[in-house]
């Protein structure tokens, strides 16, 4: 276990890794459920029980799932819980600020863990829920930071189904292909016909790449 000890203003701070905290918690048989949710978010049992209960505050659940994803950014269950909350309380959570916060969480998790397909699957769901609140410029910045990451590349191809994004995406790819001529994400996007991207083309592409 790696740890660092420091003092400041008479206070003592002990820094340990997230993995070390999870190992410590695993040895305790009686773990507080919310600690389990944050540090061991793969526990499907906890989230399933939570969905059946109406006692817990929505804001608290969103905070806990966010903390869980900070600890384990590739965890499926916190993303699934957030989708459950957004569906169940759509009128309350479908504000521009709430959706913007959700996109920021996706980009954060993508920064924290490479090939984060759970984060980008959540992005597909969120885009379909509120397509008008998707900010392509913010996505483009994340795409450029992780240009070799196939999980974000798959989301970029998903965007080709939507005419609002086709021109911007192709312009972005054209600006990058000269810098990264062998990049697979960029090459895959350029396989598509810019003038007739469609759901049918996406379907053909998925079938070809699943063989």
Query: What pLDDT is attached to residue 172?
Result: 96
Rounded CA Rg of the chain:
20
pLDDT digits (tens, 9 = 90+) for 140-184: 999 999 999 999 999 999 999 898 999 999 999 999 999 999 999
CB 78 within 8 A of CB 65: yes
pLDDT-based confidence at residue 5 (cuts at 50, 70, 90): very low
Distances (CA, A) of 163 to 95, 121, 200: 24, 20, 14
The lowest-confidence range among 1-10, 50-59, 87-96, 144-153 is 1-10
Query: What pLDDT is attached to residue 211?
Result: 43
Query: What pLDDT is attached to residue 1?
Result: 42
CA atoms of 192 and 202, how far apart (whole Å): 9
Helix axes 117-129, 150-159, angle to 10 degrees: 20
HEC string of 4-32 equals EEEEECCEEEEEECHHHHHHHHHCCCCCC
Q: Give CA angle at 86 (83, 88), nearest 5°.
A: 105
Query: What pLDDT is attached to residue 147?
Result: 96
CA atoms of 31 and 33, how far apart (whole Å): 6
CA atoms of 97 and 91, how far apart (whole Å): 13
Query: What pLDDT is attached to residue 23?
Result: 62
CA atoms of 102 and 116, how far apart (whole Å): 15
Q: Of residues 205 and 190, which shows the higher confidence score?
A: 190
**E strand segments, the chain:** 3-8, 11-16
pLDDT digits (tens, 9 = 90+) for 29-38: 455 678 778 8
Q: Average pLDDT, stretch 52-78?
A: 89
Which H or E run includes 5?
Answer: strand 3-8
Chain-wide mean pLDDT for the chain? Answer: 83
pLDDT-based confidence at residue 91 (cuts at 50, 70, 90): confident
pLDDT digits (tens, 9 = 90+) for 7-31: 455 555 556 566 665 665 555 545 5
What one-character DSSP code corresponds to residue 135?
-
Beta partners for residue 83, in sequence order = none
CB 37 within 8 A of CB 31: no
CA atoms of 184 and 189, how far apart (whole Å): 9
CA atoms of 202 and 160, how far apart (whole Å): 8
């Amino acid at each position: 276990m790696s740890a660092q000890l420091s003092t400041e203003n008479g206070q003592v701070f002990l820094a340990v890794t997230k993995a070390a905290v999870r190992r410590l918690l695993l040895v305790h048989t009686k773990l507080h459920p919310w600690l389990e949710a944050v540090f061991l978010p793969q526990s499907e049992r906890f989230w399933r029980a939570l969905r059946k209960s109406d006692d817990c505050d929505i804001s608290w659940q969103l905070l806990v799932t966010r903390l869980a994803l900070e600890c384990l950014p590739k965890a499926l269950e916190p993303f699934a819980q957030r989708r459950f909350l957004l569906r169940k309380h759509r009128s309350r959570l479908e504000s521009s600020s709430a959706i913007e916060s959700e996109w920021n969480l996706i980009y954060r998790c993508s920064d924290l863990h490479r090939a984060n397909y759970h984060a980008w699957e959540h992005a597909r769901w969120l885009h379909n829920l509120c397509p008008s609140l998707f900010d392509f410029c913010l996505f483009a910045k994340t795409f450029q930071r992780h240009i070799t990451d196939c999980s974000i590349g798959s989301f970029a191809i998903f965007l080709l189904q939507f005419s609002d994004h086709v021109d911007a995406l192709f312009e972005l790819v054209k600006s990058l292909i000269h810098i990264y001529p062998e990049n697979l994400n960029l090459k895959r996007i350029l396989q598509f016909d810019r003038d007739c991207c469609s759901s049918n083309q996406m379907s053909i592409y998925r079938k070809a790449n699943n063989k």
